[in-house]
Amino acid sequence: MNLKEARIEVEKLTNELNKHNHLYYVENNPSISDYDFDMLLKRLQDLEQQFPELASANSPTKRVGGDITKKFETVVHKYPMLSLSNTYSEEEIEEWVTRVKKQVEDDLEYVCELKYDGVAIGIQYVNGELKQAVTRGDGSQGENVTNNVKTIRTIPLSLKGDFPEDFEIRGEIFFPLKNFQKLNEQKREAEEQEFANPRNTASGTLKMQDSKVVAKRGLDCFLYGVYGTGNLREGHYETVQKVADWGFKIPPNSKRYIEKTNSVEGVMDFIHYWDKERANLPFEIDGIVIKVNKYHKQEELGYTAKSPRWAIAYKFKAERVETVLEQVTYQVGRTGAITPVANLKAVQLGGTTVQRASLYNADQIEKLDLYENDSVFVEKGGEIIPKIVGVNLDKRAKDAKKIKFIEHCPECKTELVREEGEAHHYCPNSKACPTQIKGRIEHFISRKAMDIDGIGAETVDALVEANLISNYSDLYTLTFDQVVNLERMADKSANNLLEGVRKSKEQAFPKVLFGLGIRFVGETVAKKLAKSLKNINALQKADFEQLIAVDEIGDRIAESIIAFFAEESNLEIVEKLKSLGLKFEVEEKENSSDKLDGKSFVVSGVFTAFSRNELKELIETNGGKNVGSISKKTDYVLAGDKMGPSKLQKATDLGITILSEDEFIALLNG
């Protein structure tokens, strides 16, 4: 292929990928499968490698990230990003409407919008191409975060239609709650400190140096303010509707995210509606923004030094309760991480009874300046995690003692350590600290790891306390006589335990690797490592450069793996597990193929010839992907008996192909 032919194909692929990206992420109406999209993207990547001069700064390949920004340059805003005056009072909203009417006597229209709790962004487009994205900063200047913004799929890199030559559009970048919760699940799995709330996490993500990491987190954006176009339409509401034609994701009026009204009653109706309904949104809001709609009325009203007179924000009161801090206790994780927990006098918050709140680490205790028996204010951070946000100093006893973070492990009394750059204190006594030993064994037997039936946390406690096991490899040398003598252990349960241990030897290498409990190596990371390095010997010998070359493996994971295999006791356990017959290499299965490559499946119900797990394994070994819930991205639903009617209805409504067990086998057999 010559340069001319390549240029034609690159342009065609770029237009096609931009179209499909918009259909999927903005209109929620995909027209091709994920696999087909990925194949188009791979073809474009190959052409850009072969002909670097054709690689545009706004190529769809930029969506996956990869650019490293060592320092974010400061950029002066062409149009200052003013803050809005705000209030928590409905009476003050009515007073604002009265003031506006006095200044502008004609009938007025108001636009009510959700006040997204995220990061304000201004994006400049020149000749239909994304040129620059800048944060609010101090209002007069912000930081250039263009590389990271390009990874957000709902923000177009190139526009369509009758867009102006040079303009700026503004909006809010936020963290969808589903993606935020997934990120915190990964943090919990790795025993790292969880993120406190979506807004701060969105802000921190947008300032990350590696855009590849930003791309994986799944930020989203609504765009709602246009500057530098002249009076494109007569009012703000009409302009927002217009820019959707250029490819922007705007707040949908069909869901009441934006609404136009000509009365204060209409404004109040919008506020009252979302004060109740905001809990059902897939993202966070902290209030409502009300604007005078017509641009010429906005100009007439003008500005104060800090904010426009033609707009105001009504902020919802965060639900906050006051209760008593009864005690701070400390939990020891399986990796030795120490997490302080606030034990509270029970109190109702957000429809649930709250008795505990995480204090994260020593720095948080110090920041809050907590004393024993303090009266504390508790909120639900991100409406998800209860957190202490302050102290009622008026109720603090004069003789109260300041809470100091412990210096020794609450379980084994070993002196704690805190490495430079680490948020947590750790107990270094990994070989003898009872809680760490039990935690690692419980992790090893868990469903996502070795999935050993017949043994739970209580049984692990009993086995450790009876000195029958000191690490997870000892499970495989237990005898019936040892187990049956445990308290509340009958013959049948003893046999079930031993049978569960024996069956676990059949688990595949990725599950064994995850079960080892290497810090930061979660379920997904274990699969990536196993797929890339194939066996435990290669993993043990891999150096830092080899490890970070594996997809999704960063510096900290690589360092943790190297540290794990540098410990002689860990090597001994791995060797023992090898000799006992556990699988430490990837097996190339006879029935593996790529017949289901790129296809996603939801498996639900009861089946005849195969168990659900066996069907899921067949899907994965033939290139398919198992997903937990039905969405427009799902290619097939594999339906057995007793499948829930609501799932079946959803699949039918979305037009997803529903397969019986026999039809699935026929699909595999071609």
Active-site positions read 115
DSSP-assigned states of every residue in 384-398: TEEEEEEE-GGG--T
Burial grade of 169 (CB within 10 A; 0-12, 13-18, 19 or more): buried
Q: Which amino acid is at 407?
A: E
- Coil, helix or strand at residue 658: strand
Q: Give the containing element (helix H, strand E) for 413.
A: none
Helices 264-277 + 90-103 axis angle, to 10: 150
Measured distance CA(250)–CA(374) in Å, rounded: 46
CA distances from 603 to 324, 523, 611, 644 (A): 47, 20, 10, 11
Q: In the chain, what is the straight-line distance between the N-terminal and C-terminal CA atoms, in Å?
A: 35
The 10 Å Cβ neighbour count of residue 275 is: 15
DSSP code at position 581: T
CA distances from 68 to 120, 211, 212, 614 (A): 22, 6, 8, 42
Counting every residue written for the chain, the total comes to 670
Contacts (Cβ under 8 Å, ≥6 apart) of 165: 126, 127
Helices 434-445 + 457-465 axis angle, to 10: 130
User: E-assigned strands of 350-374?
Assistant: 352-358
Say if residues 578 and 540 touch (Cβ distance below 8 Å).
no
CA 433 to mean position of chain CA atoms: 32
Q: Which residues lie across from 625 on neighbouring strands?
A: 600
* Per-residue tokens: 512: 């064994």
Say if residues 465 and 459 touch (Cβ distance below 8 Å).
no
Measured distance CA(465)–CA(459) in Å, rounded: 10
Q: What is the dihedral of CA 572, 573, 578, 583, to 10 degrees?
A: -140
Contacts (Cβ under 8 Å, ≥6 apart) of 53: 3
Say if residues 409 and 426 touch (Cβ distance below 8 Å).
no
* Per-residue tokens: 592: 């593996």
Q: Which residues lie across from 322 on neighbouring strands?
A: 377
